[in-house]
Amino acid sequence: MPKPSIVANAATYRVQGDTLVSDVDLEIAPGELIAVIGPNGAGKSTLLNLLSGDLHPTEGKVLINGIDTSRALPGDLALERSILTQREPIEIPYTASQVVAMGRFPHRRDETNTREQDAEVIANAMAQTDTTRFANRAYITLSKGEQTRVSLARVIAQATPIMLLDEPTTALDVAHQERIMSRVAALAGQKTVVAVLHDLNAAAVHADRMVVMSKGSVVADGGPQEVLQADLLTAVYEQPMVVVDHPFRNCPLVLTAGHQDPT
Amino acid sequence: MTASSESTHDSDPYANRRRWVGPVVGLLLLAVAWGALSLGAVSVPTGEVLGVLAHKVGIDVFAESSAQAEAVVWGLRMPRMLLAFTVGATLALTGGVLQGLLRNNLADPHLLGIGPGAAIGAAIGSSAGGVQGAIAGGVAAGVMSAFAIRRLTRGASIDPTRIILSGVALGAALSAWAGFIVFAADRATVPPIEFWLLGSLAGSTWRAFGTVIVFVAIAATVMLASARILDIFRLGESDARHLGIDVDLVRTVILIAVGAAVGATVGAAGVIAFVGLLVPFVVIRFTGPLHRHLLVVSLAGGALFVAASDLVARLAIQPIEIPVGLVTAAVGGPVFLWLLTRRRDA
């Protein structure tokens, strides 16, 4: 078995007496696409922050490609993992390609990495996300969907073996959601991808594996067929749920139900 | 709004503007330098100014210059001009750096309270050791004020306007303390309160310039070397961290550099307001947002703005000289107001 990309070992995160993530064990293999799902406040983003090294576990530990995040230097982590977060507004008019180029920053000390290579990686990342066309436009003037694609291009340009995505499709319409998710799915295989997702069906279609969080703990971990069970989801989301087969994709389809519906 | 319609081969829509902004600022600097050396209560003709300068570098090709011209041009106006350039360059550079570091277009070293804080140390230093004491005291207190700002701005998302309000409040309180010190001190050695609060280059000496330039050169090197890091800070602190930047270390180092450089200028010339706010605000329209262009041109633009303002301060109401900070505030204040009102709907 290949060396795992990310290992969480009894990882716990407490802040001021609240346990946000409790005793999580995870082993993520290279090339996997993992979706982290669960209701608001379940600890998904905190878990992602632990897996990225942004937060250090207060107990237990997290290893990224064998590096203990609690002792890692920021520059070393930046060569192993890239992260797409919720965007904060940028107040000055960087062009889209300038934003993508910033993804190359961690490679500045690599002597084998030439200016031409940087340019090529940036161009490829923009081609993959369909953003080449507005390379010279100011990032702030782009639509939400376009901005997300540019940010994704920046994350791709960082060229790390691991990619972490925090709600990459939030605030996008269904067409853009589907486009972003297919691109992310196309990257998995070459890269390890961990994505926090709200859309259970997008997760079901694209993820190899799903991790369900509830009240700070992992309550289910497995393939979509295995994890997306009506009773589990109903309990976790405190909302009646139905799971049926997708009409033609080989995966489950999750629907909400009313409290009076015959579930 | 940007020049993106110009179809250049360069990937940057500001590339064309950048080509001419450097030479234009350079020419304006030359014009201001001529004014600064030639004009004043005693007008020195251009030929004689050049004669003095040539003589000082060891060439005596121009007409013999009078001892009086030499005393005025070399002894008084030259250090004053160089100090104006240095102070202006420092304030504009630190303004641009703080705006990037704090992701806040309203950031300015004096509005954040660093200048007024430095004035306390400078006034104390001044009573102990003249202008060099003032500069040393300004540097120490400037660094301390920068750390106060660091505490105020800790935390991921603080409302930018609130940071400025805190800075203004802090600055008002610190200015009052500087005032107490000035009034308690010996009037023969410590400059009066309007020097500290409104700024003046009237007392410029070679010694003051020589001391300030040492601190400024070191601090400016640190700041200019951080240009690419500041580009990334503008994306947000978490993005900076994700790209491998040690955010706390960078903030600490840059704020020390800012505090030291600004403190040195306050020791030599008091608090000259709004330069750090105004210059990068104008310059970014010509250079685009990348800090390696923005900071270098701001440096030159700040030198130009303060030296030109000082010329106005000297010549406007002759023979009375007005504090240079009044001139910079008269121009910068309205721009600051406009920026504040525009924020809401931006």
Q: How many CA atoms lie within 13 A of A115 on its CB side?
A: 0
Task: Determine contact: A75 vs chain B, CB below 8 A.
Answer: yes
Place of tokens 């992701």: B103
Residue B258 is predicted with a pLDDT of: 96
Among A142, A159, A176, the domain-final residue is A159
CA angle B33, B39, B45 (to 5 degrees): 95
A105 & A20 share domain: no
B86 to chain A nearest CA, in Å?
27
A221 & A257 share domain: yes
Task: Determine contact: B290 vs chain A, CB below 8 A.
Answer: yes
Identify all chain B residues contacting A105, using CB atoms and an 8 Å cutoff: 228, 232, 243-245
pLDDT digits (tens, 9 = 90+) for A143-172: 888 898 999 999 999 999 999 999 888 878
Cis peptide before B319 (omega within 30 of 0): yes
Q: Residue-wise pLDDT tens for chain B (346 aa)? A: 333 333 334 467 888 888 899 999 999 999 999 999 999 888 888 888 888 888 888 777 666 668 888 888 898 999 999 999 999 999 999 999 999 998 888 889 998 999 999 999 999 998 888 889 999 999 999 999 998 888 877 654 566 677 778 888 888 899 999 888 888 887 778 888 888 889 999 889 999 999 999 999 999 999 999 999 999 999 888 899 999 999 989 999 999 999 999 999 999 999 998 999 999 999 999 999 999 999 999 999 999 999 999 999 999 888 888 999 999 999 888 887 887 777 544 3
Q: Are B271 and B197 a contacting pair, CB within 8 Å?
A: yes
Identify all chain B residues contacting A158, using CB atoms and an 8 Å cutoff: 243
**CA B230 to the chain's CA centroid:** 19
Alpha helices in A112-143, H assignment, sequence order: 115-128
- Provide the chain A residues 81-140 that lie in CB contact (below 8 A) with chain B: 82-83, 85, 87-88, 90-95, 97-99, 102-103, 105-106, 108, 135-138
A66 & A186 share domain: yes
Q: Are B110 and B276 a contacting pair, CB within 8 Å?
A: yes
A36 & A143 share domain: no
B11 to chain A nearest CA, in Å?
6
DSSP code for A103: G
A113 & A153 share domain: yes
**CA B94 to the chain's CA centroid:** 7
Q: Give me the count of residues in chain B.
A: 346
Identify all chain A residues contacting B290, using CB atoms and an 8 Å cutoff: 94, 98
pLDDT digits (tens, 9 = 90+) for B147-158: 888 887 765 456
Q: Give me the count of residues in chain A.
A: 263
DSSP code for A80: T
A131 & A188 share domain: no
Secondary structure class of A47 (helix, strand, coil): helix
Select from B171, B124, B177, B172 the least CA-distant residue to B148: B171
Select from A46, A66, A44 the least CA-distant residue to A54: A46
Task: Please report, for the domain that includes residue A184, its CATH number.
Answer: 3.40.50.300
Query: Of A78, A102, A137, which has the smallest distance from its Cβ to B235's Cβ?
Result: A102
Judged by CB atoms closer than 8 Å, whether chains meet at B289 and A92 is answered as yes
Identify all chain A residues contacting B244, using CB atoms and an 8 Å cutoff: 74-79, 105-106
Query: Of B13, B103, B241, which has the smallest distance from its Cβ to A74's Cβ?
Result: B241
Structure tokens at A210: 């799903």
Query: Over chain B, what HEC string results?
Result: CCCCCCCCCCCCCCHHHHHHHHHHHHHHHHHHHHHHHHCCCCCCCHHHHHHHHHHHCCCCCCCCCCHHHHHHHHHHHHHHHHHHHHHHHHHHHHHHHHHHHCCCCCCCCCCCCHHHHHHHHHHHHHHHHHHHHHHHHHHHHHHHHHHHHHHHCCCCCCCHHHHHHHHHHHHHHHHHHHHHHHHHCCCCCCCCHHHHHHCCCCCCCHHHHHHHHHHHHHHHHHHHHCHHHHHHHCCCHHHHHHCCCCHHHHHHHHHHHHHHHHHHHHHHHCCCCCHHHHHHHHHHHHHCCCHHHHHHHHHHHHHHHHHHHHHHHHHCCCCCCCCHHHHHHHHHHHHHHHHHHHHCCC
- Cα distance between residue A201 and residue A247, in whole Å: 13
- Cα distance between residue A200 and residue A35, in whole Å: 9
- Cα distance between residue B115 and residue B266, in whole Å: 6
Place of tokens 């310059």: B283
A1 & A54 share domain: yes
B100 to chain A: closest CA residue: A92
Judged by CB atoms closer than 8 Å, whether chains meet at B244 and A77 is answered as yes
Neighbours of A246 (CB within 10 A): 14
Among A130, A159, A188, the domain-final residue is A159
Domain that holds residue A10: 1-80+160-263
Give the total number of structural domains in chain A: 2
Query: Of B105, B238, B246, which has the smallest distance from its Cβ to A85's Cβ?
Result: B238
A25 & A151 share domain: no
A152 & A169 share domain: no
Task: Determine contact: A16 vs chain B, CB below 8 A.
Answer: no
Q: Are B42 and B5 a contacting pair, CB within 8 Å?
A: no
Q: Are B39 and B311 a contacting pair, CB within 8 Å?
A: yes
Residue A49 is predicted with a pLDDT of: 94
A179 & A204 share domain: yes
> Which of A95, A100, A139 has the most B C-beta neighbours within 10 Å, making it the best mutation to test the interface with B?
A95
Residue A262 is predicted with a pLDDT of: 66
Judged by CB atoms closer than 8 Å, whether chains meet at A83 and B13 is answered as no
What is the mean pLDDT of the segment spanning A6-15?
94
Query: Of A73, A102, A135, which has the smallest distance from its Cβ to B243's Cβ?
Result: A102
- Cα distance between residue B165 and residue B319, in whole Å: 38
Place of tokens 């030599």: B268
A68 & A96 share domain: no
Structure tokens at B197: 């609060």
- Provide the chain B residues 84-103 that lie in CB contact (below 8 A) with chain A: 103
Rg of the Cα trace of chain A? 19
Domain architecture of chain B: domains with CATH: 80-343 (1.10.3470.10)
Judged by CB atoms closer than 8 Å, whether chains meet at A73 and B246 is answered as yes
Identify all chain A residues contacting B4, using CB atoms and an 8 Å cutoff: 136-138
Neighbours of A10 (CB within 10 A): 12
Select from A64, A2, A9 the least CA-distant residue to A31: A2
Residues whose CB falls within 8 Å of the CB of residue A139, separated by 6 or more in sequence, listed in order: A90, A93, A94, A95, A96, A98, A99, A147, A150
Judged by CB atoms closer than 8 Å, whether chains meet at B242 and A138 is answered as no
Q: Are B53 and B38 a contacting pair, CB within 8 Å?
A: no
In the predicted structure, residue A13 carries a pLDDT above the cut 60: yes
Among A159, A179, A206, the domain-final residue is A159
A116 & A188 share domain: no
Residue A110 is predicted with a pLDDT of: 84
Task: Determine contact: B228 vs chain A, CB below 8 A.
Answer: yes
Query: Of B1, B231, B241, which has the smallest distance from its Cβ to A54's Cβ?
Result: B241
> Which of B97, B239, B290, B293 has the most A C-beta neighbours within 10 Å, making it the best mutation to test the interface with A?
B239
DSSP H or E run through A227: helix A224-227
- Provide the chain A residues 146-165 that lie in CB contact (below 8 A) with chain B: 158
Q: Are A30 and A128 a contacting pair, CB within 8 Å?
A: no
CA angle B112, B252, B233 (to 5 degrees): 80
DSSP strand pairing (A81-84 vs A162-166): parallel
- Cα distance between residue B346 and residue B340, in whole Å: 10
Query: Of B105, B244, B289, which has the smallest distance from its Cβ to A75's Cβ?
Result: B244
